[in-house]
Amino acid sequence: MLRYTIRRVLWGLLVIFAVTLSVFVLFGPVLRSTANVNPARLYAGKNAQADEIAQVEETLGLDKPYYEQYAISVRRLIFGPSDEEIERLCPSGNDCDELIGHLGRSFEKQRSVDSLIWSRVGVTFSLAAVAAVMWLTISIPVGVLSAVRPRSIFDRVTIVTILIAQSLPVYYFGLLALYFLTFKFHIFPQGGYEDFAWSDPWPWLSHLILPGFTLALAFIAIYTRLVRGSMLDALGDDYIRTARAKGAGEGRTIVRHALRNALLPIVTIFGLDMGILLGGAILTEATFGLQGIGTLSIDAASSLDVPLTSGTVLFAAIMIVVANILVDLAYAFIDPRIRLT
């Protein structure tokens, strides 16, 4: 198990290294050659003179060859900002983490990309967690019941409902939900976000129920179909017939045997989906006015803030890699027949 974990972590680091190279090429040479975007001009401002732009290029190291620029960005990602950057941007030594970080410094906001992402990650994580609880709580029981009673009225109604849920765009359902449940009947608050408090978690939850269910709707449809298909395959296997022949109860056969094996593909796609959502649920956050990583990436892209845009992309990629590693490690606990070496 330990050897497998180390191997998976090393592969994950290799993937992250490949992602950093891709992000650098996309937001460096490709952006400058195809879109004629000069990051130094963006940093210096619209009315900057040629000598000011040249000074910014020298300060940011943009006048160096691309391989040196990439080496500087990788070094900053691993070890943090250099002494020269700290001395230039944070001479007093106070609040340096707010000014310069591992992912660089935002051109527009003049803050470290790290601090901007971490200031939004709580909103995105809360939204993803609430949505995940909703879609798992609904999709797994519904998928199991549909598989246990195939071609029944419940199964047919479930399939029709799934098709409708998959056909509704997130923003369309979100706007309808906002109009009827917020503005017309005043059941839920009008968007925004409240920090979580153990003494009274309801304000936090009330602001996330509607966007969480909106985000979970499409996942409910997908996961219900996956659970139903996996359960149908599992219920037709020989070990299920053997368990029934030995006198095992129907509930025990379904939950302890069939469902446990049917959950393997669910765990795989759940890890990927959570990794993607932690990178920002863009449409849902924009619809409900949640200031998460998704809206942060939209603002960064619309203002051509290169460090912030590349930083949010890299953060999303890291979340996906971490989720994949956790999924692989979870396999051994779900199905003991899997042996990790």
CATH code (residue 307): 1.10.3720.10
Where does the pLDDT of residue 336 fall: very low under 50, low under 70, confident under 90, or very high at 90 and above? Answer: low
What distance in Å separates the CA atoms of residue 67 and residue 336, rounded to the nearest whole number? 47
Considering the entire predicted model, what is its pTM?
0.85
- Please give the pLDDT value at position 341: 52
Determine phi and psi for 105, rounding to 5 degrees: -130, 130
Residue 194 DSSP symbol:
-
End-of-domain residue from the set 80, 107, 134: 107
End-of-domain residue from the set 107, 124, 148: 107
Write out pLDDT tens, residues 173-229: 888 888 888 888 888 887 788 888 889 899 999 999 999 999 998 898 889 989 988
Q: Does 45 map to a domain?
A: yes
Q: Do 65 and 168 share a structural domain?
A: no
Residues 6+ apart with CB under 8 A from 317: 15, 16, 19, 23, 279
| Helix (H) / strand (E) containing 209 | helix 202-235
Average pLDDT of every residue of the chain: 84
pLDDT of residue 250 exceeding 80: no
Chain centroid offset of residue 137 CA: 20
Three-state DSSP string of 77-96: HHHCCCHHHHHHHCCCCCCH
Q: Do 101 and 129 share a structural domain?
A: no
Q: Do 248 and 189 share a structural domain?
A: yes
Containing domain of residue 248, as a range? 115-334
Write out pLDDT tens, residues 52-73: 888 878 877 778 888 888 998 9
Residues 6+ apart with CB under 8 A from 126: 193, 196, 204, 208
Q: Does 341 map to a domain?
A: no
Q: Does 87 map to a domain?
A: yes
How many domains is the chain built from?
2
Q: Do 330 and 313 share a structural domain?
A: yes
- Please give the pLDDT value at position 241: 75
